[in-house]
Chains A and B, each alone.
Chain A
């Protein structure tokens, strides 16, 4: 009877602080996205600059009446799309209503800006505090440079990794101990670009903060541009989450979930397969 040492098969992939902050972030991001869409719905149009040029938004979601009833229209830089049923016009508690994003994706589900704002700012604080804990731990434990920063050699393998991902072939064994270069780049983008952008553009929308730090307005090109960037960065994060979830699903959902909950990742030691 061959016994395989657990140390070779079970690999402690995620440290405690990474796991705890990851799940707090999941809750925060989900609720921030949903309450953020509620806030967006109060004025479903985005502009460039300091002020809103109501006749020329960069993007808008509107409803208008046609002979076939209410039509939802989404406009992105001059190009209009009929988005009835999802954007502009959708059903709220069984009733066709004109609203930006549909009720199933906003908090609360009905139009209620005050409640949306209350949720948004609470979870924004939690996200920032959680982010600070993660950032502090990441620096202290050298998580960022050890796990997230790709080496020159890893950067050279981007093309190969993209092909592997498209064929849904993922590393096993010792190679799975380290994030691959596509993961590293995606996580770096999320941690060091998208989340900081969300927080800074969010703060730029605060008239109070603008009086203390007018440099933020210069940096982002005005309050309305900051609102536009806030929306684009949030959409990018939502897209990241979708790709992330697909990857979790196709690369061994239970193994991935277990490792993010308990820390333990099954490297699938081939010797185990032999004895089985």
Chain B
């Protein structure tokens, strides 16, 4: 009976082809720009679904003092060697000023003293690194919403960009021929979230250099790489297209997702 083994050879060929594709093809497919843009659609979907599912003011879980990590890991830049930054460290950030500019009604220039005199929020939250680990820390700082309301966000503004003092030793990742300082961006929904703060204290003490002194962002519903350290300037922009590689952040320009809520 011929139906005993229908097209066995075809089946074998198909299986061999699939196997071959799986072994050799993935890397080639993975780097093809068109395939990458198809895969990126999933992240856009994640962003839209999470924005739909998660209320604008829904808080990230907060923990107790007992949950705080005894050794909070510092990642990314931990000891910037940029000359300007080293000068600031030398004077205990007395000369440091936070500049708020771009699409704002009034530009701001704030010292650390001035920031500390503004309304503050303290929160014990979990920090999730894109690598997979988590640490818990206590953060105190000014809600970004407070700064933005003082500066007056103009209606054209759509994103908040953080310009930092540190040059990451990017080695193999270099996009620009010249080394560039860290930068990140968030949308206005996250910018005015109650837990989005510009932190100057960690675990009750002034922020140390490995953790981003004098000021770092806390963005509790996204991953660690969004939380810019060593902040120098905050810029309100209409579009992210002109910011370095155009994807909205240092790691984003090196392949990571702009929306890091997952």
Interface residues of A (CB under 8 A from B): 10, 30-31, 34, 39-40, 42-43, 45, 47, 50-52, 54, 107-110, 112-115, 117-119, 121-122, 124-125, 205-212, 214, 217, 223-224, 227, 254, 257-258, 261-262, 266, 272, 276
Contacts and interface: CB of A to CB of B under 8 A. Distances in A.
27 contacts: A39-B132, A42-B132, A43-B129, A43-B131, A43-B132, A43-B133, A51-B126, A51-B136, A52-B73, A107-B26, A108-B27, A109-B26, A110-B27, A114-B254, A114-B257, A117-B256, A121-B43, A125-B45, A206-B50, A207-B128, A207-B222, A211-B54, A211-B220, A212-B50, A212-B54, A223-B126, A266-B4
Contacts of A114: 251, 254-257
A124 B73 CA distance: 29
B147 to A, nearest CB: 22
State the main secondary structure of chain A at its contact with B. helix
Contact of A208 (B1, B69, B73, B222): B222
A258 B161 CA distance: 57
B36 interface: yes
Given A108-B26, A205-B262, A261-B11, 14 more contacts: A10-B3, A30-B22, A51-B136, A107-B26, A107-B27, A119-B39, A121-B262, A125-B46, A207-B128, A208-B54, A208-B222, A209-B54, A266-B4, A272-B1
A121 B59 contact: no
Contacts of B38: 122
B82 interface: no
Q: Which 6 A-B pairs rank lowest in CB-CB distance, beginning with the nearest?
A: A208-B261, A114-B255, A122-B42, A52-B133, A43-B131, A43-B132
Interface residues of B, number: 55
B42 A254 contact: no
B53 interface: yes
A205 B136 CA distance: 15
Contacts of B73: 52, 54
Contacts of A266: 4
A211 B133 contact: no
Residue of B61, B222, B251, B256 ringed by the most chain A CB atoms within 10 A: B61
Contacts of A34: 26
A266 B130 CA distance: 50
Contacts of B69: 51-52
A211 B45 CA distance: 18
Given A209-B262, A212-B54, A52 B135 contact: yes
A58 to B, nearest CB: 13
B149 to A, nearest CB: 23
Contacts of B36: 118
Given A51-B134, A207-B222, A212 B55 contact: yes
Contacts of B8: 254
B58 interface: yes
A189 to B, nearest CB: 26
Contacts of B177: none
A223 B134 contact: yes
Interface string B223-262: 1000000000000000000000000000100111100011
Nearest to A30: B22
A255 B166 CA distance: 63
Contacts of B34: none
B42 A50 contact: no
A122 B44 CA distance: 10
Nearest to B222: A207
A40 B132 contact: yes
B30 A107 contact: yes
Given A51-B126, A119-B30, A208 B262 contact: yes
B262 A211 contact: no
